Chains A and B, each alone.
Chain A
Amino acid sequence: MNRHLPDPKLLPDHAEALEGQVAFRLAAYLSRGAEALPHEISERLRFGRERALAKVPRRAAAVQHAPAVAAWIGHAGPAAVMGGPPSVWLRLASLMPLVMLAAGLVMIQHHHDLQQIAAAAEIDSALLADDLPPDAYRDPGFSEFLRTAEAP
């Protein structure tokens, strides 16, 4: 009775199953090879992926600042972007905050000096413009008069 049935080996499903079995076994070999890629290739792929992610439009606003920063820093060089050793320009740029802080302190000190000079000049001009001669303040009797006049 079975002689009238087709050979199971010739059934399309059977053939497809065997083909799939072989194909997935070969693919498993390929996967092992892909996971064992050289470090340099993996790093270049990672760099390419990060570069692609930076191109996503919603990140464009953040990325737009990059040219301005690059122009301000000067020529930082590709090493800075790729995580290599910082260039001379980048090192100089990192000192900028300290330089600005020192300049700020100098300006504050200068402003304080100007204020003191202005206050002294105001006192001098008031003394000179007053009817009372400045030498009167050296007189002990006048000083005593002032103290008793201010006392209640």
Chain B
Amino acid sequence: MASDKELSDCLKNVEKRAFKRTVYAVRDEDAALDIVQDAMIRLAEKYHDRPAAELPLLFQRILSNATMDWFRRQRVRRSVMQNMSDFDVGGEGGDFDLLESLESADGMLGAESAAETVSRSQTLLLIEAQIAELPARQREAFLLRYWEEFDTAETAVVMGCSEGSVKTHCSRAVHALAKALRSKGIVP
């Protein structure tokens, strides 16, 4: 069973990334704060007796569900649902070759990139904007796999899908991000 300190440390460790991840999804800081707080409360109330090692995974799953709940409420309220039905990349960009793009940089991945022309903060804003533009499932897979650093199996558990789907979502997300950023002069 996780101690109070372990639970507190777990929440402290994930809260900022959880907030940003939720902002990318809902695009509303106040709503994101409410969702993250709701997820933290659910974790503390219902899963405090779980081993500390399970808490991060549980929290991410709760956060995903809380975000989905928020979208459902919004859908009921507005009768309009946007940015949530897009589960695939579509045909566009199919001819973009990440490998070719990366190899053309001669292995200098991001070594110089756009740092000479764009400040770091501007680069970050561009990256965040492109991540927010990703389809929801791709964004979720990308952030869980590479930002939260879950492995493919754990990401699949959180997302409730197969490992193959996770790999597909991640691959498409990386290609889409690389293409979008490259079009703005940033070599990821």
- A and B associate: yes
- B117 on interface, CB distance cutoff 8 Å: no
Bound-state CA distance A29–B15 (Å) is 17
Within 8 Å by CB of B48, from A20, A33, A44, A56, lies: A56
- B127 on interface, CB distance cutoff 8 Å: yes
A34 proximity list for chain B (CB < 8 A): 16-17, 19-20
Q: Is the CB of A53 within 8 A of B142?
A: no
Q: Is the CB of B17 within 8 A of A31?
A: yes
B178 proximity list for chain A (CB < 8 A): 22
Task: State the main secondary structure of chain A at its contact with B.
Answer: helix
Q: Is the CB of B123 within 8 A of A53?
A: no
For window 5-58 of A, CB contacts with B under 8 Å fall at 9-10, 14-16, 18-27, 29-35, 37, 41-42, 44-45, 48-49, 51-53, 55-58
Q: Is the CB of A58 within 8 A of B48?
A: yes
Q: Is the CB of B4 within 8 A of A33?
A: no
Known: A20-B146, A30-B147, A56-B48. A49 touches B11 (CB 8 A): yes
Bound-state CA distance A21–B149 (Å) is 13
Number of A interface residues in the complex (CB < 8 A): 37
B143 to chain A, nearest CB (A): 8
Within 8 Å by CB of A37, from B7, B16, B131, lies: B16
Number of B interface residues in the complex (CB < 8 A): 47
Bound-state CA distance A31–B98 (Å) is 23
- B188 on interface, CB distance cutoff 8 Å: yes
Q: Is the CB of A33 within 8 A of B37?
A: no
- B166 on interface, CB distance cutoff 8 Å: no
Within 8 Å by CB of A27, from B8, B11, B147, lies: B147
A26 to chain B, nearest CB (A): 6
Bound-state CA distance A11–B174 (Å) is 17
Q: Is the CB of A53 within 8 A of B4?
A: yes
Q: Is the CB of B99 within 8 A of A45?
A: no
Number of residue pairs spanning A and B whose beta carbons lie under 8 angstroms apart: 122
Question: Which of B65-73, B80-88, B102-110 has 4 or more CB atoms under 8 Å from chain A?
Answer: B102-110
A39 to chain B, nearest CB (A): 12
Bound-state CA distance A16–B40 (Å) is 33
Bound-state CA distance A48–B37 (Å) is 5
For window 116-160 of B, CB contacts with A under 8 Å fall at 120, 123-124, 127-128, 131, 142-143, 145-147, 149
Bound-state CA distance A21–B20 (Å) is 22
Within 8 Å by CB of B37, from A19, A25, A52, lies: A52
Q: Is the CB of A32 within 8 A of B124?
A: yes
Within 8 Å by CB of B8, from A16, A24, A49, lies: A49
Bound-state CA distance A18–B99 (Å) is 7
B37 proximity list for chain A (CB < 8 A): 45, 48, 51-52
Q: Is the CB of A45 within 8 A of B15?
A: yes
Bound-state CA distance A9–B48 (Å) is 47
A47 to chain B, nearest CB (A): 8
Q: B-contacting residues of A (Cβ < 8 Å)?
A: 9-10, 14-16, 18-27, 29-35, 37, 41-42, 44-45, 48-49, 51-53, 55-59
